[in-house]
Amino acid sequence: MQYELRYQVIEPKRQTYQNVIDRLGDQPASRYLEATLDVEPRENFHYRPTWIKDRELYDERYSALRLTDPYSYTDPRQFYYTPYVTNRAALHDEFGKTLSYLDQRDLLTRLPGGWQAVLTSVVLPLRHYESGAQMTSVTGARFAYGTSLEQCCTFAAFDRIGNAQMLSRVGLAMGGGAGDVLDVAKQEWLAGEHMQPLRRLVEEIMVVDDWAEGLLAVDVLDSLIYPLIYSGLDESALLGGAGAYSLLAQHLTGWFADQRRWLDALVAAWAADSGNGEANRHGLAHIADTWSRRAREAVAGLATTIDGHLPEVGSATALALLADEQNARWATITGGAA
């Protein structure tokens, strides 16, 4: 008696969803593409927004920066719900471990005086800055044209809540579980003289109509604040007996590197777009022009305060370097268009 083993292949009627087939043909595609391509509606809107008569609910005219085909841009990280959540859960897990290590050894309360002051007067108030940045990202999430752009903004908005939460947890740990330090930090944000230019700028960015301009204006600020406050203080922290700060700041530096990946790719896509490249480069140059000088002035207050508490850091010099670097970067992107 002999058995013959055979297998039978049942070909699926279709390999993927119609939205993917329309663009890439009938072949297996990644979950990211399935959940992204042409998902946002483009036609047959039943209602116009009552608050702006000449626009559709989803409309590319909500921004001066446009892509001929919004799906020519895709998120380099290929984030959709599951990978995003898994990735950020891991990030906050790591952060939690760092924090409990510091907590068990009382390393935050034993920070040198200058560093304590920098944390309460400069770093912790930034959780309110994160909150403003979250609002601008949410605007992008609502008004960006194309799911590929919109979902990056959505995730960025949630990231900001996460960043604010990390800072809050540091504040709680510093206050031994109570919110006193956070209260002081909030007062600094609301009334501290060094914080007011930044607060004013963030609030002005929050009411910018063009979602992309708002997003990039925050990014202009981020590009100064993150390298200056988080990665920039790292070495002085390690040498100055404030290793605890370095351990915490690494997580925010890590987040910023991740943020750069999708945003840099998006800016590059805008600048290189086949149909709107020229107009986009002008738009980008205009944005850089409008916000970079103001961003530098706003962050200068923070740098001066840091230098006041920790003269060895040289934040003001570092800020000048960062601002020049940023201007050069924008000039390369826009190719001198103005």
Partner 1 sequence: MTGTLRQVGIDIQESEENRALVDAIKADNPELTIRHLPGLVKLQAAGQITINRRTVEEKLGHDWETGEFQLAIVSYAGNFSEWDDDQIIVKWEH
CB 73 within 8 A of CB 149: yes
Rounded-to-integer distance, Cα 97 and Cα 101, Å: 6
Amino acid found at 38: D
Binds partner 1 (CB under 8 A): choice among 14, 23, 31, 110: 31
Closest separation in Å from C-beta 303 to partner 1: 33
Rounded-to-integer distance, Cα 94 and Cα 252, Å: 12
> Counting contacts by CB under 8 A, is residue 84 touching partner 1?
no
> Counting contacts by CB under 8 A, is residue 32 touching partner 1?
yes
Closest separation in Å from C-beta 78 to partner 1: 3
User: Binding segment for partner 1 among 72-80, 122-130, 188-196, 268-276 (CB under 8 A)?
Assistant: 72-80
Binds partner 1 (CB under 8 A): choice among 55, 77, 88, 92: 77
Task: Give the residue with the Cβ less far from partner 1, 1 or 9.
Answer: 9
Closest separation in Å from C-beta 226 to partner 1: 21
Task: Give the residue with the Cβ less far from partner 1, 25 or 28.
Answer: 28
Binds partner 1 (CB under 8 A): choice among 3, 7, 47, 51: 7
CB 338 within 8 A of CB 289: yes
Task: Give the residue with the Cβ less far from partner 1, 34 or 38.
Answer: 34
Binding characters for partner 1, 11-30, by CB under 8 A (x = yes)? -----------------x-x
Q: If we measure between CA atoms, which residue out of 225, 226, 230, 192 comes closest to residue 295? A: 225
Rounded-to-integer distance, Cα 127 and Cα 116, Å: 16
CB 271 within 8 A of CB 281: yes
> Counting contacts by CB under 8 A, is residue 83 touching partner 1?
yes
Q: With the C-alpha atoms ordered 71, 72, 78, 84, is the resulting torsion angle positive or negative? A: negative
Record the tokens describing residue 61, joined without a space. Answer: 């005219």
CB 84 within 8 A of CB 155: yes
Closest separation in Å from C-beta 107 to partner 1: 30
Cα angle for residues 230, 306, 160 (degrees, 5° grid): 35
Rounded-to-integer distance, Cα 132 and Cα 204, Å: 10
Closest separation in Å from C-beta 219 to partner 1: 21
Closest separation in Å from C-beta 7 to partner 1: 6
Q: How many helices (H) and strands (E) does the chain have?
A: 13, 0
User: Binding segment for partner 1 among 55-63, 78-86, 124-132, 194-202 (CB under 8 A)?
Assistant: 78-86
Site for partner 1 in 278-337 (CB under 8 A): none
Closest separation in Å from C-beta 148 to partner 1: 13
CB 124 within 8 A of CB 189: no
Binds partner 1 (CB under 8 A): choice among 78, 168, 187, 196: 78
Rounded-to-integer distance, Cα 302 and Cα 123, Å: 9
Binds partner 1 (CB under 8 A): choice among 41, 76, 176, 275: 76
Q: With the C-alpha atoms ordered 261, 262, 265, 266, is the resulting torsion angle positive or negative? A: negative
> Counting contacts by CB under 8 A, is residue 260 touching partner 1?
no
Binds partner 1 (CB under 8 A): choice among 79, 95, 129, 256: 79
Task: Give the residue with the Cβ less far from partner 1, 76 or 176.
Answer: 76
Rounded-to-integer distance, Cα 176 and Cα 173, Å: 5
Residues of this chain that interact with partner 1 (CB under 8 A) are 7, 9, 28, 30-32, 75-79, 83, 87
